[in-house]
Amino acid sequence: MGTRYITVGIFVLMMLVSVVALSTKGFNYALDFTGGTLVEIEFEKPANVEEIRSRLDAAGYDSPVVQTFGSGNDIVIRLQPPEMEEGGSPQDADNTAQSGMAILEVAQTPDNPGQVIRSDFVGPQIGNELALNGVYATIFVALGFLAYIAIRFEFKFAIAAVLATLADVLVVCGWFAITQHEFDLTVLAGILSVMGFSINDTIVVFDRVRENFRLLNKLEPKEVLNRSINQTLSRTIITSFVAFLTVLALYVYGGHSLKGMAESQMIGVVIGTLSSILLACPILLLLGVTKQDLMPKAKADVEAELARRP
């Protein structure tokens, strides 16, 4: 608790950076949200992004997005979904102008051939449906999360838990905005799971805080919070370390489709652990938590009256 102003300040700074990144750069939305074609091409030699973009423009592909992926030899090309003629279908388009092989023919050159590593197509209607389902899932989780906290915690504890968890989610979102790593539905699922992990860690600390407030009623709130954190510290770190190893294995061996989700969870595990130790309890102290906050109002009024008597 002695360093609470420093730790809260660091978290506030990270949140501000995240807000700036989200408002200026935004997410690099994947096809799940935007629709269109995504093609990953591996060239024999480092490729010139601007030249590839120019060749795609000249070939009639509208507003192509060309980025390096990993090394300079790996290129990701994103194209907007084509206009569907009456009776056409996304599959028709995928098999014609916007197929991976058709894009490869335009992107490669005789002195720098390439091969298609991945080619995906999502129609605009499917993309809109997936995005809408993602919004519904987010709202559902947020409402359930707030309802659980309202039942589980007293008012000041609930405020601290919500603020600490929102800080975790905001920092993870800011990471994806800053790095411009692809944001798809699996990343959204990972961020929502971060909320669950974060509140679980906070519950463990807060339960010990409430227990110590009842047992150590002669100590100042600052000392009660200090003891509570230290008593749960080993459990928190061990649990978080095991969870981190699990998602690290998923990140390394789970393949491309799960990489974004594992990345969001790894960052969430680290930030969630730090917030439960360095942010949640300092917020409680700043809110002026006391033993009376854990008591029914009538009993608290009686004890307060007895304390005022000489």
Res. 26 pLDDT band, cuts 50 70 90:
confident
Question: For helices 155-179 and 256-278, what crossing angle results, to 10°?
Answer: 140
Which H or E element spans position 72?
strand 71-79
Q: pLDDT (tens digit, 9 = 90+) per residue, 249-297?
A: 988 887 777 888 999 999 999 999 999 888 988 998 888 877 776 655 5
How much is the pLDDT for 126?
Answer: 61
pLDDT of residue 176: 92
d(CA 293, CA 304): 12
Residue 83 has pLDDT above 80, yes or no: no
Task: Count CB neighbours of 273 within 10 A.
Answer: 21
**Which pLDDT band, with edges at 50, 70 and 90, does 19 fall under?**
very high
Say yes or no to pLDDT of 85 above 50.
no
What pLDDT score was predicted for residue 13?
Answer: 95
Instruction: Please report which confidence band the pLDDT of residue 84 belongs to, taking 50, 70 and 90 as the band edges.
Output: very low
CA 142 to chain centre: 14
Please spell the DSSP secondary structure of 251-303, one letter per residue: HHHS-HHHHHHHHHHHHHHHHHHHHHHHTHHHHHHHTT--GGGGS-HHHHHHH
Among 208, 214, 213, 215, residue whose Cα is nearest residue 231 = 208
Highest mean pLDDT among 25-34, 41-50, 79-88, 264-273: 264-273
Strand partners, 114: 43
* Six-digit token string for 17: 């950076």
pLDDT band at 241 (very low <50, low <70, confident <90, very high): very high
Three-state DSSP class for residue 183: strand
Q: Over the stretch 165-215, which tens digit does the pLDDT of each residue have?
A: 889 999 999 999 999 888 888 888 888 888 888 888 888 888 888 888 888
CB atoms near residue 159 (< 10 Å): 16
The per-residue pLDDT for 92 is 45
Burial grade of 14 (CB within 10 A; 0-12, 13-18, 19 or more): middle
- Which residues, in sequence order, are CB contacts of 28 under 8 Å at separation 6+? 176, 180, 181, 182, 183
Nearest CA to 77 out of 134, 36, 110, 22 is that of 36
**pLDDT for 89-141, tens place per residue?**
444 444 444 577 888 888 888 888 888 888 777 665 666 677 777 778 878 88
- Residue 293 vs residue 44, higher pLDDT: 44
Instruction: Look at residue 295 in the predicted model and tell me its pLDDT.
Output: 56
